[in-house]
Chains A and B, each alone.
Chain A
Amino acid sequence: MSLWLWVLAACAAVYATKLLGYLVPQSWLRHPAVGRVSAMLTIGLLAALVAMNTFSAEQTVVIDARLGALLAAAAALLLRAPFIVVVLVGAATAAGIRALG
Chain B
Amino acid sequence: MPAPPSPASADRRTPLRHSPALRMGLSIATAISLYGISFGALSTAAGMSLWQTVALSALLFSGASQFAFIGILASGGTGAAALGASTLLSGRNTIYAVQMKALLNPKGFKRLAAAQITIDESAAVAMSAENPLEQRRGFWGAGIACYLFWNLATVLGALLGDVIADPEALGLDGAVVAAFLALLWPRLKSLDSWALAVLAALITTLTMPLLAPGIPVLAAAVVAVIWGVASKERGA
A-to-B contact residues, CB < 8 Å: 2-11, 13-15, 17-22, 24, 26, 29, 33-34, 36-56, 59-61, 65-66, 68-70, 72-74, 76-77, 83-84, 86-96, 98
The answer on a CB contact under 8 Å between A49 and B97 is no
Q: Which residue of B lies closest to A42 (CB)?
A: B127
CB distance from B54 to the nearest CB of A (A): 10
> Which residues in B have their C-beta under 8 angstroms from that of A86?
178-179, 181-182
The answer on a CB contact under 8 Å between B187 and A83 is no
> Which residues in B have their C-beta under 8 angstroms from that of A48?
200-201, 203-204, 216-217, 220-221
12 contacts between A and B (CB under 8 A): A13-B90, A18-B62, A24-B101, A29-B101, A36-B232, A45-B96, A47-B196, A51-B200, A51-B205, A55-B208, A72-B178, A89-B178
The 3 closest A-B pairs by CB, nearest first: A21-B97, A90-B178, A94-B174
> Which residues in A have their C-beta under 8 angstroms from that of B83?
6, 9-10, 13
Q: Does B163 contact A (CB under 8 A)?
A: no
Q: Does B14 contact A (CB under 8 A)?
A: no
> Which residues in A have their C-beta under 8 angstroms from that of B115?
15, 18-19, 21-22
Q: Which residue of B lies closest to A96 (CB)?
A: B171
For the complex with contacts A87-B175, A87-B178, 5 further pairs of A-B residues with Cβ separation under 8 Å are A21-B98, A44-B225, A45-B217, A65-B174, A91-B174
The answer on a CB contact under 8 Å between B169 and A98 is yes
Q: Which residue of A lies closest to B188 (CB)?
A: A43
Q: Does B59 contact A (CB under 8 A)?
A: yes
User: Interface stretch among B4-12, B106-114, B153-161?
Assistant: B106-114
CB distance from A87 to the nearest CB of B (A): 5
The answer on a CB contact under 8 Å between B90 and A44 is no
Tell me the complex Cα distance, A36–B11, Å.
24
**Residue of B79, B170, B213, B221 with highest tally of chain A CB at under 10 A:** B79
**Residue of B127, B183, B184, B225 with highest tally of chain A CB at under 10 A:** B184
Q: Does B45 contact A (CB under 8 A)?
A: no
> Which residues in A have their C-beta under 8 angstroms from that of B131?
none
> Which residues in B have their C-beta under 8 angstroms from that of A7?
48, 52, 55-56, 60, 69
Q: Which residue of A lies closest to B219 (CB)?
A: A48
The answer on a CB contact under 8 Å between A70 and B69 is no
Which listed residue, A19, A39, A47, touches B198 by the CB 8 Å rule? A47
Q: Which of B161-196 contact A (CB under 8 A)?
A: 168-185, 187-188, 193, 196
The answer on a CB contact under 8 Å between B128 and A8 is no
> Which residues in B have their C-beta under 8 angstroms from that of A17?
87, 90-91, 93-94
